[in-house]
């Protein structure tokens, strides 16, 4: 039986930095990325700006991505917000039992968010002022001008001031996007109906979902909703009919076949492209490409975008990411580069890990495992940043290139007493001691290096 042991280590090169980045699990938004400070039995979060400087020092027990200039943070089991405008204090104190991202209203253009305080569901503005108290069995976050409340089987749309604007008897819904939303109902034959509404609650289209299948929302762009039918390998293109009720048009849509391919996974529509992982029904081979919906002579068609050009030669992509600020990360073999919307590489593949672009910069990790920011030409704009990485064995560390190393924590998993016997241990306590001994032996064997056992947090 295999024993899994994981170590978290902090690698410091020439200039020690007190913070680490876990790029694999963090995104880069609004020009800021989360950073972590590891201490025994504790982890604190803050933010790093696109210049590689600490914007907010790690002091929160949890932190979330920035959105509309604000980020949700947690301290002392309460939630609040920090702002890009002032990093010296919290924009809204950590006083809420729960909270969600800010969203800009499509009605008045201002920012609002849904929060929970003392068991009350409220809407607040960006100054932290409570604008409404909502009542319902279930409440969904404020987005694009509405907070959605579930009450007595109804889906009720309320504005930022708590006024009920309209409601529907429905099972599910999709939030407003660019002024339109989807309401999903189920009829007596258990078929799903998708009704498209505008911000007044007026129906602008309606379609009947396929039998034995559910449609998945891909996005909205240029007057059409895109939904995916995975079971039948089809994409539904549903136009917004502004005069729908007078025309009495029903099921106004076009189905686009995916042919001999089946979608395994996908990212929602981004800047006109859907990044998808597809598998050939005939050969069962998988690949990742872009799909683009195009319109010609009043009809829609599906364009497969899988021809990536590198140095005037066509290359095959292993992974494709959503577009952001006109560029998208694409992996060829084991390395990522960035392509423009013509699918030409403007930054050649050279990175192990990448983020999306935000405010003209992206966060990357190169083959030397250095972490830094680049601009849209691929130019390095910051010095390497320290990072935290997880390894399965201390032998994975190349001590010849390390000035200082800190073993921050380790965790292990085991299943039963057979595992203990395989390690010649009679008890779990003896097993833990053996791990401590192994770390100590490793530190002693590397006497030419400065290796510190800062603390051990054992997590079963």
**pLDDT value at position 452?**
46
pLDDT tens for residues 92-129? 999 999 999 999 988 788 999 999 988 888 999 999 99
pLDDT tens for residues 10-43? 444 333 334 556 554 457 889 898 888 765 557 7
Distance between CA 55 and CA 106 in Å, rounded?
30
What are the phi and psi torsion angles at 411 (to 5°)? -140, 155
**pLDDT value at position 414?**
45
| Interior/surface letters 199-227, b for 16+ CB within 10 angstroms, e for the rest | beeeebbbbebbeeeebebbbbeeebbbb
**pLDDT value at position 427?**
64
In terms of Cα–Cα distance, which of 41, 33, 49, 54 is closest to 8? 41
Contact in structure between 263 and 228 (CB atoms under 8 Å): yes
pLDDT less than 50: residues of the chain: 1-7, 9-18, 24-25, 392, 401-403, 412-416, 447-460
Contacts of 126 (CB under 8 A, 6+ apart): 70, 91, 102, 110, 111, 112
* Bridge partner list, 390: 8
Domain ranges of the chain: 1-9+386-460
Q: How do strand 404-413 and strand 4-12 relate by DSSP bridges?
A: antiparallel
**pLDDT value at position 407?**
54
**pLDDT value at position 426?**
64
**pLDDT value at position 16?**
36
Read off the pTM. Answer: 0.76
Helices (H), 163-313: 244-247
Contact in structure between 79 and 96 (CB atoms under 8 Å): yes
**pLDDT value at position 12?**
42
**pLDDT value at position 297?**
80
Distance between CA 428 and CA 417 in Å, rounded?
9
| Interior/surface letters 270-296, b for 16+ CB within 10 angstroms, e for the rest | beebbbbbbbeeeeeeebbbbbebeee
């Amino acid at each position: 039986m295999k024993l899994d042991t994981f170590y978290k280590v902090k690698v410091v090169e020439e200039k020690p930095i007190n913070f680490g980045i876990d790029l694999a699990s963090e995104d880069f938004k609004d020009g800021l990325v989360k950073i972590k400070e590891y201490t025994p039995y504790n982890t604190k979060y803050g933010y790093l700006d696109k210049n590689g400087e600490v914007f907010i020092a790690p002091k929160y027990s949890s932190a979330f991505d920035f959105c509309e200039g604000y980020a949700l943070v947690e301290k002392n089991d309460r939630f609040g917000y920090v702002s890009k405008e002032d990093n010296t204090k919290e924009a809204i104190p950590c006083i809420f039992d729960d909270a969600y991202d800010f969203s800009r209203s499509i009605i008045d253009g201002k920012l609002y968010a849904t929060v929970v305080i003392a068991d009350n569901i409220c809407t607040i503005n960006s100054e932290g002022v409570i604008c409404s108290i909502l009542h319902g069995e279930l409440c969904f976050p404020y987005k694009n001008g509405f907070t959605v409340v579930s009450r007595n089987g109804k889906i009720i749309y309320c504005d930022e001031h708590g006024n009920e604007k309209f409601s529907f008897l429905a099972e599910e819904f999709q939030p407003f996007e660019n002024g339109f939303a989807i309401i999903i109902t189920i009829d007596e034959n258990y078929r799903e109906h998708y009704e498209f509404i505008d911000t007044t609650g007026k129906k602008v289209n309606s379609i009947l979902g396929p039998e034995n299948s559910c449609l998945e929302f891909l996005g909205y762009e240029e007057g059409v909703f895109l939904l995916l039918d995975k079971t039948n390998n089809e994409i539904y293109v549903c136009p917004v009919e502004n005069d729908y009720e007078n025309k009495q048009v029903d099921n106004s849509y076009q189905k686009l076949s995916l042919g001999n391919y089946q979608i395994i996974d996908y990212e929602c529509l981004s800047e006109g492209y859907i990044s998808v992982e597809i598998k050939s029904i005939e050969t069962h081979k998988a690949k990742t490409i872009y799909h683009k919906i195009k319109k010609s002579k009043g009809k829609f068609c599906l364009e497969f975008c899988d021809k990536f050009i590198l140095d005037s030669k066509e290359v095959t992509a292993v992974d494709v990411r959503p577009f952001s600020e006109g560029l998208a990360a694409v992996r060829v073999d084991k390395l990522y580069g960035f392509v423009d919307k013509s699918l030409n590489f403007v930054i050649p593949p050279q990175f192990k890990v990448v983020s999306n672009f935000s405010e003209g910069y992206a966060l990357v990790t190169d083959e030397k495992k250095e972490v830094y920011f680049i601009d849209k030409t691929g130019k390095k704009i910051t010095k390497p940043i320290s990072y935290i990485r997880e390894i399965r064995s201390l032998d994975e560390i190349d001590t010849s290139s390390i000035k200082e190393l800190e073993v921050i924590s380790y965790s292990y998993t085991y299943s039963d007493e057979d595992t203990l016997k395989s390690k010649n241990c009679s008890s779990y306590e003896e097993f833990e001691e053996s791990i401590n001994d192994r770390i100590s032996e490793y530190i002693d064997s590397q006497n030419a290096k400065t290796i510190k056992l800062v603390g051990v947090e054992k997590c079963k």
